[in-house]
Structure 1
Amino acid sequence: MGGLTPAITSMFDARSAQQMAFIRSMMKEQRKNSLYDISLDSVELVVFDLETTGFSPYNGDEIISFGAVSVAGSFITEETFYSLVNPKRSIPKEIVELTGISNEMVQEAPDILHALKGFLEFVQSKILIAHGSGHDKHFLNSALWKTSKVNLSHRLLDTMIIAKWLNPKLPAYDLDSMLALYGVETTVRHHALEDAVMTARLWVKLLEEIRSRDVHSLGDLYLQLSHHL
């Protein structure tokens, strides 16, 4: 933190300054990690999903919930994380209808700094997975920059890109289409934790096909996916 500490402490309470320091430290540590040689059978992952007020994090839209589940290789653990977030703005009616998250529900929820810290404490240094990760990555980067002036430095896998590599020329690769294709039961859509769990189950199905392509390490998988970005 260096010379920023007095300024930060004057802007936030001491707890908020500690939250910010934790987030900055975690992003710095992540840049040191080389994970390419790790076997896909043992890699530690966190599958996550966000619900948001809209699609433009740099034009006022905010995260309203985090959902995540921990996965070890192809084993989905019982370790989960879920938090509502107070976006400090009104949630549009169509988002309330889509997610079931109302303005009243988030009034007492943690703000983005505290919810983000809780999410990162759950993630630690594990690989992140999301379906159609561009949306989620933009919102995470916006939240990280807004709260701590850092960018996301975790490794990220996208089950949509993996599905495109394994199944070229399909008409659609959205989550509903992939769940149907791989026989994953749909529970509650547009709930961050439920979507994360369904995406984790999709990952397990995809992993079977990945192995059948003689791809067994994280580095090998990234190499294959680099041709499909």
Structure 2
Amino acid sequence: MTFDPLFFLKGLQARGSTAQSGQHVAYLRQLQREMRVEETLHIPLTSLNVIVLDIETTGFYPDKGDQIISIGAIKVKGDKVLEDDSFYSLIKIDKPIPQAISKLTGLTDEQLMDAPPLSEVLFEFLKFVKDYTLVAHHANHEKLFLQNASWQLYRAQFKHRLIDMSFLYRIAEPNENLITLEECCKHNGIEIKERHHALYDAKLTAALWCVYINKLNEIGCTTLKDLYERLTIE
């Protein structure tokens, strides 16, 4: 992840931060040096280690004030979901949750009142993610909010590779019209639990990732490079 650590540090100092804030900057700077995004293009999908994530938000437009209210993520090694290696956090926001979102997610203002702020959660999330490749169902939603958060907190672009699961569906099963997470799970016989909970949605998407990298492998699409090349000639 590329950002200006001096700018970030000054912002933290202006808010009366402690030595721990400097440690955060040092960690993020080291992460920036160690990221090797391009190298993942040639690793077999069935051997690629990824982190599958999902976020719940107050709406669809971060540039219009919508906010992240929870982040869930789980690690996948090859085609095995690591059930005991996951991340989940609620996030405190500065305005009430819209009633429709509260009904959809089951989250309430009271639950978020004692949650940590986005600045803390995003840092802990990045520590969990490190330089892993990220995966999400219809990833543009996650991308928009993570880019916005990265800019607001660090004045930097979000640099992690983020793979949209819809790419895999389109290449592996081009004749199927799979759109929602429910449709994709039902089509593949995956039991649906706890929808619109960030961690459980991440787990459902992780199960789909494992199914589809094997389907892609069967048709000779074995790496991310293969996947992207096939998408360009669709």
**Normalising to structure 1: TM-score of the pair?**
0.91
Could you tell me which amino acid in structure 1 is paired with residue 57 of structure 2? Answer: T
How big is each residue's C-alpha offset from its partner over 1:74-101, in whole Å with a ceiling of 9 and x where there is no partner?
A: 0111201000000222111111100011
How far apart are the structure 2 equivalents of 1:3 and 1:80? 31
Aligned to 1:153: 159
Aligned residues: 228
Which of the numbers 120, 123, 129 marks the counterpart of 2:126?
Answer: 120
SS of aligned partner of 1:34: helix
The 5 Å alignment of 1:37-186 reads 37-77=42-82, 78-186=84-192
Report the more deviating stretch, 156-165 or 176-185. 156-165
Identical aligned residues as a percent: 34
How far apart are the structure 2 equivalents of 1:27 and 1:85? 25
How far apart are the structure 1 equivalents of 2:157 and 2:33? 9
Inter-CA distance 58–18: structure 2 relative to 1 (3 Å threshold): farther
Could you tell me which amino acid in structure 2 is paired with residue 170 of structure 1? Answer: E
Moved over 4 A (4+): none
Q: CA RMSD in A?
A: 2.0
How far apart are the structure 1 equivalents of 2:40 and 2:162? 11
SS of aligned partner of 1:35: helix
Aligned to 2:222: 216
Kept in 1: contact 2:73–2:202 (CA 8 A): yes
Aligned to 1:13: 17
Kept in 2: contact 1:67–1:81 (CA 8 A): yes
Which residues of structure 1 form unaligned runs of 5+?
Answer: none
**Normalising to structure 2: TM-score of the pair?**
0.89
Inter-CA distance 32–50: structure 2 relative to 1 (3 Å threshold): closer
Could you tell me which amino acid in structure 1 is paired with residue 15 of structure 2? Answer: M
Could you tell me which amino acid in structure 1 is paired with residue 201 of structure 2? Answer: D
Inter-CA distance 217–7: structure 2 relative to 1 (3 Å threshold): closer
Kept in 2: contact 1:46–1:129 (CA 8 A): yes
Could you tell me which amino acid in structure 1 is paired with residue 98 of structure 2? Answer: P
How far apart are the structure 2 equivalents of 1:130 and 1:195? 9
Inter-CA distance 21–109: structure 2 relative to 1 (3 Å threshold): farther
Aligned to 1:35: 40
How far apart are the structure 2 equivalents of 1:155 and 1:134? 12
How far apart are the structure 1 equivalents of 2:50 and 2:11? 36
